[in-house]
Amino acid sequence: MSSSLPPFGVKVDHPRSCDLIVQGIPGCRLRSRITASRMTVVNKDAPDGEQVIPPDQSRHLGILPEIPGMELHVNPGKQTYKIIDPLHNNEKILNRLKRGLEQDERPVRGTKYNGLPPQEGTLDQHRMKTLCREMVQWLEVGFVVMAKGPKPSLEDVGELPGKYLLNPGATIPNSQPRFEEDMEAYELAVNQVR
């Protein structure tokens, strides 16, 4: 199967260092780049609205080194994805992380740190199209940055084969239609029953 959308990858770089839940891959959670200097909130008491690091975060996150975000790469033509954790087997960052955690006052669980090993998978055309749209939407709101390949657009994703899934993150059976395009007819049918 060929695709006009070339392979591309994104790196999670959420402005508040939050994890991302990937709807297109059920059960998938990606860690953002973590840096204490970004964990800011607006100080409502300050006249100029200065940004500050909340005390509970600065006390603990300030001692950690910058932790790179996880990456999600897709190949729409082959309908494959790969998840990469830059921490995996990266002794330099892992040793800095361990030293930072040892300086913390809180008890540290475990003595061996490592990132997740690479994960790969194949998706059907509908799930791949839905996942690619999700990734483009993350780019638009600044939750991720490009890691590899050309930056895709929603129009590029719309040209992929398949349909958009209505609830790609569902892990249990439900009565919803499978595709977004069927939702209007479903709502009409439900409303007629009433």
**pLDDT tens string 60-84:** 555 677 889 999 999 999 999 999 9
Q: Mean pLDDT check: name the lowest of 19-28, 38-47, 140-149.
A: 38-47
Does residue 150 lie within any of the structural domains?
yes
In a domain, 194, yes or no: no
86 neighbors 67 (Cβ within 8 angstroms): no
- State the pLDDT at residue 158: 96
CA dihedral 66, 52, 59, 138 (to 10 degrees): -40
| pLDDT computed for residue 51 by the predictor | 55
Residue 100 sits at the vertex; the CA angle it makes with 96 and 102, to the nearest 5 degrees, is 120
**Between the CA of residue 161 and those of 19, 33, 78, 156, what are the distances in Å?**
29, 32, 12, 11
Residue with tokens 């499978």: 178
pLDDT computed for residue 89 by the predictor: 93
Secondary element (H or E) of residue 79: none
Task: List, for residues 23-40, the tens digit of each pLDDT value.
Answer: 999 899 999 998 866 555
* Res 41: pLDDT: 55
Q: Could you tell me which residues are beta bridge partners of residue 51? A: 42
Higher pLDDT, 17 or 2: 17
Instruction: Give the Å distances, CA to CA, from 72 to 19, 76, 134, 193.
Output: 13, 13, 12, 43
pLDDT (0 to 100) of residue 154: 96
Query: Is residue 58 in some structural domain?
Result: yes
| 62, part of any domain | yes
Whole-angstrom distance, CA of residue 14 vs CA of residue 52: 17
**Is residue 189 situated within a structural domain?**
no
Residue 156 lies in a domain: yes
What is d(CA 113, CA 30) in angstroms, rounded to the nearest whole number? Answer: 17
Distance of CA 146 to the CA centre of its chain: 12
Locate the DSSP E strands across the chain: 8-12, 20-22, 28-30, 41-42, 51-52, 71-75, 80-84, 119-122, 144-148
134 within a domain of the structure (yes/no): yes
CA pair distance 76, 2, nearest whole angstrom: 8
When divided into structural domains, the chain yields a total of 1
| pLDDT at site 98 | 80
What domain range includes position 16? 8-162
26 found inside a domain? yes
Q: Tell me: pLDDT of 58 over 60.
A: no
Amino acid 161: pLDDT: 96
The residue-averaged pLDDT of 4-33 equals 93
Instruction: Report, as an integer, the average pLDDT of 164-192.
Output: 89
pLDDT at residue 17, as a whole number: 85
